[in-house]
Amino acid sequence: RISKMPHHKTLDDYDFSYQPELDARKVRDLATLAFVEAKVNAALLGPPGVGKTHIAVALAVAACRAGFSVYFTTLDDMVRQLKAADAIGRLASKLRTYLRPHVLVLDEVGYLPLARDEANLVFQMISKRYEKGSILLTSNKAFSEWGQVFGDEVLATAILDRLLHHCEVIAINGPSYRLKNRLAAVTTE
């Protein structure tokens, strides 16, 4: 079961020719789900509109179909949930929501900077999940900028240390597909 997933997308709907710098083979390798078996993480990095969420959803759907449990959330939503649980003394039980599934999709890491206590909750989740199950994350920030995202270089380094120890990193550096659609709409009017 996949919770809170945006509308379903598949890799067949993804136009690789629009992102010539993206290594399609790397994405298709992820789609074999060997990374899930191996409890390896995957990171999709790039600017807005290049299809990071699209690909993450496609992989999540594939994992789900293959019988893996998947939980889909944005980083900000997870932080909100963990904070609310912590405030009523239920952090350990809420953490299990994010520790249990075979695949945890963390969409939109880095969109909003986190406060120190929030970054700490993320660290707790990442370190508890380390080598126990895959995290599939998307981010518009380079790893070198995570110190700013998490408000603390030491904490960001500790998070990255665990995340990147076993991680497939795919950079999508190209034009926004949203912009393509908008320009097409304008020119056909």
Least distance to ligand ADP, CB of residue 96, Å: 27
Q: Which of 49, 101, 110, 133 binds ligand ADP (CB under 6 A)?
A: 49
Q: Is 111 near ligand ADP (CB under 6 A)?
A: no
- Residue 148 is which amino acid? Q
Least distance to Mg ion, CB of residue 49, Å: 8
Q: Is 45 near ligand ADP (CB under 6 A)?
A: no
Residue 50 in tokens:
């290049």
- The count of other CB atoms within 10 Å of the CB of residue 125 is 24
Helix, strand, coil shares of the chain, percent, nearest 5, are 55, 15, 30
Choices 13-21, 64-72, 77-85, 95-103; region in contact with ligand ADP by CB under 6 A: 13-21
Q: Is 139:110 a contact under the CB 8 Å cutoff?
A: yes
Kind of pairing, strands 2-3 and 70-74? parallel
Least distance to ligand ADP, CB of residue 14, Å: 5
Q: Is 73:107 a contact under the CB 8 Å cutoff?
A: yes
Q: Is 74 near Mg ion (CB under 5 A)?
A: no
Q: Is 94 near ligand ADP (CB under 6 A)?
A: no
Residue ranges in 38-67 that form contacts with Mg ion under rule CB under 5 A: 53
Least distance to ligand ADP, CB of residue 44, Å: 8
How many chain residues touch Mg ion (CB under 5 A)? Answer: 1
Q: Is 163 left (phi over 0), alpha (psi -120 to 50) or beta?
A: alpha
Q: Is 74 near ligand ADP (CB under 6 A)?
A: no
Q: Which residues contact 127 (CB under 8 A, 6 or more apart)?
A: 158, 162
Choices 43-51, 84-92, 128-136, 159-167; region in contact with ligand ADP by CB under 6 A: 43-51
How many chain residues touch ligand ADP (CB under 6 A)? Answer: 16
Q: Is 139 near Mg ion (CB under 5 A)?
A: no
Residue 71 in tokens:
């939980």
Q: How far apart are CA 129 and CA 162, in angstroms?
A: 9
For ligand ADP, the binding residues (CB under 6 A) are 9, 13-15, 18-19, 48-54, 138, 177-178
